[in-house]
Structure 1
């Protein structure tokens, strides 16, 4: 509320103080009707401006008649303070309304000024000068408003991306658990249940049909081997192929293909791309991974060709496999969502997907992913796609306003003829034109501005313009200041942008002194060359002070912008990395469970069948089925439950602490090995509780993995060594058969058996 009304209130008070306040205090006669009209216009315009954020167009509609009343009913230049209220309102329109509304409002204001100017000034130089100034100022306000709108839209885009990343992170873990549950259910229903049913029937009919025992043993051995193969392949995919690193796309694809080659699938990779990252490359990696997984499931042994190319701004992805050369033993593991998932990835990246059978009996997946999707994040953050209205308006203002000032009547200023006006306008336009590219190419814009300044001594030397027009050229030096600011705000490399200030100061000093020398101001002095050099240094130093200050302002704006965009990128990257880490931790946990229980029992089923022990087959099959059902129950018990973080996620936990401003070091001598699920989860919870105990100082986490144990040392956490945090941690560790020692100075040492 205060933000809305502070500016209107200050403008209204300033206007009343200037007029009629100063004339009344000075004892000057003031017409009461004019005072009443001026006060009414001030109050109405200020009230309308107070609604500029909620209803900017309505505020502008209310301001224009108020200003018209005030300007027509008061002396010329009496309302010098509130005269800018319509410009502020137009800026608000540019910030809060679409481009078409902004342009329509700008055109309406220009038309209003053209009519009002005739009523106030009539026609002539005054009218033309004021109208040109009004047009340029309106365009500048609209352009700056549009720039602010882009910045706000970029921030909203970043917030939306972060929200989507967080939603995807939560949804990805749920979808991953559901997918794993479906695949594990396929294995248990198709293989283990069949073994249990067959062996049970053979035992029940053993006296009447003893031959069924041999058939059941043969079936159990065959089904057991199929179960082993299916589970081992699933475990390998979950623990190996699914690992996503931060390396380039090409390297990740090659590592992915190598994992499938190790599983017996011949894969050939042909790549023509770089190491860029983003939604486009992530979609490509996911498509290749899903296509290779489908080939392994449905066409094992069939040759697979993987091709990725960057062509004409598009990432071309193709995965084609021949018909399988071995039975599809893993065909039952599919969830039926592979193709739908690929289509969702492609749609998210804004591309197209074609998938279908090949004439030779194989399958082909072909995706076209536009690279613009991969760079849309950075472009939406910075919004520097070509010259914008603000850049054009700034260049136009610097080109037109000095000439417009010459057009205004002044008895001391000689009238500028048409040829002189045209020459001055062309020189100023050429001088300001490079500023149109001040964002895209700030160094080139500065070079162009400085280069055109070198023409001015020639104009002075040949006396091509009268002195008022030369003064107008001098005011055009504002372009150098704008260019230096642009270099500071947008130039690269960032650490060298400071050179813009001394370069511009030196060029302006040289031009100013050369023009003065050509004009005869230095000709009569002795040792003209030395005097000119000294004058150049002095003038350059004088220019360097404001140019340096402006460079500092631009660089400060740049640092703030970079901090904002970097913080947004880090947040999205952390959320995305968290999704990958949590999904991989979930896969690793399930894979550990399969290895520790189900796969061990499946191996025992095959061994018992080969040894001819029917009771052993039944017992091991039931044990494997029970372990599988326990695993499925854990996955399906709560579909909205977030996956339990494991030791693999401790690194991400420490990074989040560092992002929050705390110094946390992690030391781990090796990669996280396969741990029992309870130990895996407890390792993360121990570190999490220690770091979250309430301490803000530096901390250090050390992980040690032995042959059959896990050791965790956390230092710098004195709050974690006191109750109730220590009591809770001790209870968890004791339940696992571990030990914990505490140092009141802030060190916690934990040992957990990991067998």
Structure 2
């Protein structure tokens, strides 16, 4: 197909050139010089063969086309190669499409210089020479500009394909990324509260002999903080399940409240807040970074002075947390998960910013994050470029303005020559008529109005006899500007369904201007015309204009439909992939929420109960155990991004075969084929079976999957360890998280119902 597209146009050009010359003269029986015919055929073969390679090597193709055309134009009669002379224009278009701007510019300049040199040999009249050179320059600029526009279109399609590829990657990695994000949330919430309890309880134990009252304060603090931990975890679970929470106070106020809480723990914290109010994901990232940095300071540098700075610079939000060396023995060394700095860096990167963390000369530590004021500001800055008129717009406007002037320059034996002053005035009128086309992409309707307004000047010029008849007639070649404006309205005007109105508008205006101009100029019927007759003549005069305007509008509208269709398909594909990523992430949130309720919340409740019971030693042990459990959970959640996505119900068969191969007999029975399941159900079905079979039983087991119209029933027999105790509690939490239910019996059978519809 590519080969056909590359060689079809050169073949058509060669056939057309051979048919025009020498084909037509031979058919008419005119005598032809054999040398001229041979020169034409040789130039045709060389130019068309080179044109066939324009997609692979457009510059090399031009290197062959230029000498071939030069020899052909010199060896053949004038105007004999009217078809072949388009080969260099087509090759220049390919250069614009497939080569950088600097190469396109150099090639265009080379072609213009070549045409200027060849024109000296072909045109002996100075006016004719300059007229043809001007037209050639405009044609070359137009070809190069259209090539550059095509190159931008192809680049936009590649960018769209890249966006789709990234969306597909995000969809495949959605569950992994969500686990990483939730791991940061869990680390921030649990570590902040539980570390505070450990630090306070340890200090109370160490100073019990000298300050016994600290024990009561530590118990009160542990009870209060334990309840806050449970509340925070419940809120996190609610967020995972899609429950909207009310927004809090501004970022600056939240930072100051956070600092005050750490100051109450004995950590001297000062704040300097000078940033404007910021909300949204960036504010959450800034708050999470500050909280983690303060927690690390409390853990590793207790008693050291800490300064929190929140400010703005160069359109970025700056968060700096700097602490001095510890002034008291470390109380929580080794309790961290070891991922605090990584979590802060991930938070910063997720908001489009950067983070630096490292020691200071005085033995302290400094964390500095730079975040964009909003998630979209980074994209806005990357897209903010100077958007002046493009080369294609300049070339089109230049072509529309130059064509009338070129017609005046080229001598016509039937028309008198135009003087210098008249030519200058006509040039200014043509330029004013074409100048609005520079903005045809941005404002097609206003551009059309400006073009029509300048068209209305022609009757005035005729009435005042400012131009001779030759120049007035040449001005009508300016209809090219109107056609370009009509095309722009059809291709880009809003609303789309009303762009057809430009057709009768332009046709009527041009018909009225034509009748009025010729009437005032005395050309029409060679006698004065009454206003009534002028109105009658407008309708038939509009017919030839409409015959040209309608196809132009149709072409622009068809291009618009094609472009909108391509863009719409790309957007739908990206949207579908993004929706899949959101659905998978939601399924992962539901799964982790069940794990939080079954594990972390239980540890937090034990801390609170021990504190309320006045058992300080047990508070400390429970808090340390909670932190250790949190570390284990974080280790499970922080997965390698390259790891495979979460297994689904389709992988249950492989799981059963793997267990059977390992020595345990596990049968799978599924009477009906598996339908498409919601991601949350798909993942949870596998995890339920995996957990039940891995509960610790060694005997044979049987898994039955029943797919109903609205639910999925999972029956697992031979798993008594999964029907009681913490395993059963965890399974019930997971199942309930997605709206299912679970029943067990004493024989070791477990029945689970999951909804199979979204």
Alignment-derived partner of residue 9 in structure 1? 11
Deviation of residue 63 (structure 1)?
A: 0.6
Q: Which moved more, 1:590-599 or 1:98-107?
A: 590-599
Q: What does the per-residue CA deviation read over 1:463-507, in whole Å, with 9 as the maximum and x for residues that have no partner?
A: 332323222111111211111211222233444433333332332
> Kindly tell me: are residues 558 and 289 of structure 1, through their superposed partners in 2, closer, same or farther at Cα, counting changes over 3 Å?
farther
Contact 2:183 2:634 in 1 (8 A): yes
| 3-state DSSP of counterpart to 1:737 | strand
**Residues 674-689 of structure 1: matches in 2 within 5 Å?**
678=687
2:515 is aligned to 513
- 5+ residue gaps, structure 2: 199-214, 262-270, 299-305, 324-329, 650-675, 692-704, 711-732, 741-747
Deviation at 1:78, TM superposition (A): 0.9
Contact kept? 2:58, 2:91, Cα under 8 Å: yes
- Any residues of structure 2 matched to 1:25-104 within 5 Å, and which? 25-104=27-106
Residues 638 and 435 of structure 1: CA distance in aligned 2, closer, same or farther (over 3 Å): closer
Shift of 1:147: 0.8
2:341 is matched with 336
Q: Is the 8 A contact 1:420 1:465 kept in 2?
A: yes
How has the CA–CA distance of structure 1 residues 605 and 321 changed in structure 2, closer, same or farther, with 3 Å as cutoff?
closer
Kindly indicate whether the alpha-carbon contact (under 8 Å) linking 1:711 and 1:750 is maintained by their aligned counterparts in 2: no
**8 Å Cα contact 2:355-2:368 kept in structure 1:** no
Q: Please give the TM-score of this superposition, normalised by the length of structure 2.
A: 0.68
The offset of 1:421, in angstroms, is: 1.8
Comparing 231-240 with 59-68, which one deviates more in the overlay?
231-240
**Which residue number in structure 1 is paired with residue 592 of structure 2?**
590
Q: Is the 1:59–1:89 contact (alpha carbons within 8 Å) kept by the matching residues of 2?
A: yes
Corresponding residue for residue 235 of structure 1 = 233
CA distance in 1, matches of 2:181, 2:739: 33
Describe the shift of the 1:634–1:368 C-alpha distance in structure 2 as closer, same or farther (beyond 3 A). Answer: closer
Q: CA deviation at 1:430?
A: 1.1
- Structure 1 185/406 Cα, relative in aligned 2: closer, same or farther at 3 Å? closer
1:124 is matched with which residue?
126
Post-superposition shift, 1:545? 5.2
Tell me which residue corresponds to 2:644: 641
Q: Does the 8 A contact of 2:433 with 2:451 survive in 1?
A: yes
Q: Is the contact between residue 320 and residue 364 of structure 1 (CA under 8 Å) also seen in structure 2?
A: yes
Per the TM alignment, residue 633 of structure 1 is displaced from its structure 2 partner at its CA by: 7.5
Relative to structure 1, the CA distance from residue 680 to residue 19 in structure 2 (aligned partners, 3 Å threshold; closer, same or farther) is: farther
Deviation at 1:37, TM superposition (A): 1.2
Task: Compute the displacement of 1:4 (Å).
Answer: 0.9
- Partners of 1:474 and 1:454 lie apart in 2 by 12
Task: Report the CA distance shift for 1:737/1:147 in structure 2 as closer, same or farther (over 3 A).
Answer: same
Distance (Å, rounded) in 2 between the aligned partners of 1:679 and 1:496: 58
Q: Are 1:426 and 2:420 matched, yes or no? A: no
Q: 1: distance between equivalents of 2:75 and 2:194? A: 95
Aligned residue for 2:729?
A: none
Residue 122 of structure 1 aligns to a residue whose secondary structure is coil
3-state SS of paired residue (2:340)? coil
Determine the structure 1 residue equivalent to 2:473.
471
1:696-722 per-residue CA deviation (whole Å, 9 max, x = no partner) reads xxxxxxxxx9x969779xxxxxxxxxx
Which protein is bigger by CA-based radius of gyration? 2
Name the CA distance, whole Å, in 1 between partners of 2:485 and 2:66. 34
8 Å Cα contact 1:506/1:540 also seen in 2: yes
1:39 CA drift (Å): 0.8
Structure 1 position 159, deviation (Å): 2.0
In structure 2, what is the Cα distance between the partners aligned to 1:735 and 1:35? 96
Pick closer, same or farther for the CA change 1:520–1:90 going to 2, 3 Å.
same
* Aligned equivalent of 1:136: 138
* C-alpha contact (below 8 Å) 1:513/1:535 kept by paired residues: yes
1:152 alignment counterpart: 154
Following superposition, the deviation at residue 397 of structure 1 comes to 0.8
2:289 aligns with 291
Q: Which residue of 2 aligns with 1:659?
A: none
How far off is 1:353 after superposition?
Answer: 7.4
Q: Does the 8 A contact of 1:238 with 1:587 survive in 2?
A: no
Unaligned residue ranges in structure 1 (runs of 5+)? 196-216, 276-280, 647-664, 692-704, 713-733, 741-748
The aligned residue for residue 501 of structure 1 is 503
- Contact in 1 for aligned 2:607/2:623 (Cα 8 Å): yes
How many residues align? The count is 642
Q: How far apart, in 2, do the equivalents of 1:20 and 1:434 lie?
A: 43
Q: Which of 160, 163, 171 lines up with 1:161 in the alignment? A: 163
1:317 paired residue number? 317
Give the equivalent residue in structure 2 for 1:702: none
Mapping 1:412-561, distance limit 5 Å: 412-520=414-522, 528-540=530-542, 543-544=545-546, 546-561=548-563
Give the 3 Å change call, closer, same or farther, for CA 230–636 of structure 1 in structure 2.
farther
Q: CA deviation at 1:15?
A: 0.9
1:23 CA displacement: 1.5
| TM-superposed deviation, 1:50 | 0.9
Give the conservation status (yes or no) of the 8 Å contact 1:221–1:606. Answer: no
Contact map agreement 2:223 2:611 (CA 8 A) in 1: no
SS in 2 for 1:27: coil
Would the aligned equivalents of 1:15 and 1:81 in 2 still touch at CA under 8 Å? yes
Q: C-alpha deviations, 1:24-59, integer Å up to 9, x for none?
A: 222211111111111111011011111111111111
Judge which range, 235-244 or 413-422, deviates more: 235-244
Residues 751 and 390 of structure 1: is their aligned pair in 2 closer, same or farther, counting only changes over 3 Å? Answer: closer
Give distance in 1, aligned partners of 2:310 and 2:414.
80
Q: Deviations over 1:43-81 (max 9, x none)?
A: 110111111111111111111001111111111111111
Deviation at 1:236, TM superposition (A): 4.9
Question: 1:455 and 1:163 mapped to 2: Cα distance?
Answer: 54
User: Against the structure 1 CA distance between its residues 523 and 565, is the aligned structure 2 distance closer, same or farther, given a 3 Å change threshold?
Assistant: same
How far apart in 2 are the matches of 1:263 and 1:578? 37
Residues 543-574 of structure 1 deviation map (CA, whole Å, 9 limit, x = unaligned): 34543443333233223323323333444455
**Counterpart secondary structure, 1:440:** coil
Please say which of residues 543-552 and 45-54 is displaced more in the overlay.
Answer: 543-552
**Change in 2 beyond 3 A, CA 1:385/1:636:** closer
